[in-house]
Amino acid sequence: MLPLYAVFGHPIAHSRSPDIHALFAAQEGVAVRYERRLVEGSLHDALLPFAAAGGSGANVTVPCKEEAFHLCAERSVRAEQAGAVNTLIRLPENAWRGDNTDGIGLVNDITRLGVSLRGAKVLLLGAGGAVRGVLGPILAENPAAVTVANRTAAKAHTLAALFDVQAALFSELAGTRFDVVINGTSASLAGENLPLPSNIFEQAKLAYDMMYAPQDTPFLRQARGGGAQHCADGLGMLVGQAAASYALWRGFEPELEPVLHTMRERLRHA
């Protein structure tokens, strides 16, 4: 029987994870099964037949990452910091260990792009699960300062207090310069512009959207217009978090560049 993995979420038909993991398996020179599993009730219930079929590892995506966090018998420090789990590793007795590879996927992609977070002034836009998921690994790189800015002040303050960083409203950013600006809001998904003062990008070495799309997202258009030196979408983060999950399951660390190249080509022609 082939090793069995899957990605769980709702919706799930759009997920690119099976394609990415197939490319990793080809690199390792093994055959694995990696399925999409739609979660219609609870993740707990969706995992039961998967475990019974011999599932040994899973990715978890929206909106199941918090439930995944709660159902794990063990959790990594990264998962505890994120308050969410995107990677499940099978333990004996139908139990799961939870990890979160989103943050390391982002940090590795920023490094791949030639930008160092060490000593950098970093701005994170948004204060939901996406931003919480990456704050721990970003802080581990020793940036000079991190600001969390959000449309709703209370959420920015709660998250900033949890990680001991600065909180701000978008309007309060005017006149402040950042080295790295990361969009973790879901505004790009809705095709919406963020009400950002344009001068925040003037000294930005990198503007990074955690979303990805065949063309520039609204945030990346804003960043380019505002003078950001380099703009990137989140496809590299997607491939990076998947690679870190694959390494946890199989002890094999996939090479990212060729997979990212293939996925970019497929996205262009989708």
- Judged by the rule CB under 6 A, the positions of this chain that interact with ligand ATR are 126-130, 150-152, 155, 185-187, 192, 194
Q: Tell me how far CA of residue 134 lies from CA of 49, 53, 213, 218, in angstroms.
A: 31, 32, 20, 21
In 3D space, the residue among 73, 65, 61 whose CA is nearest the CA of residue 6 turns out to be: 61
Quote the least distance from Cβ 136 to ligand ATR, whole Å: 15
Quote the least distance from Cβ 183 to ligand ATR, whole Å: 9
| First vs last C-alpha separation in the chain | 32
Q: Would you say 49 or 195 has its CB closer to ligand ATR?
A: 195
Q: Distance (Å, rounded) from C-alpha 228 to C-alpha 107? A: 19
Quote the least distance from Cβ 132 to ligand ATR, whole Å: 7
Q: Would you say 149 or 259 has its CB closer to ligand ATR?
A: 149
Q: Would you say 112 or 151 has its CB closer to ligand ATR?
A: 151
Q: Let me know the angle formed at the C-alpha of 129 by 124 and 134, rounded to the nearest 5 degrees.
A: 50
Q: Which residues are catalytic?
A: 65
Quote the least distance from Cβ 126 to ligand ATR, whole Å: 4
Q: Is the peptide bond prior to 63 cis by the omega test (within 30 degrees of 0)?
A: yes
Q: Would you say 7 or 25 has its CB closer to ligand ATR?
A: 7
Question: Largest alpha-carbon pair distance within the chain?
Answer: 59
Give the CB-nearest residue to ligand ATR: 128
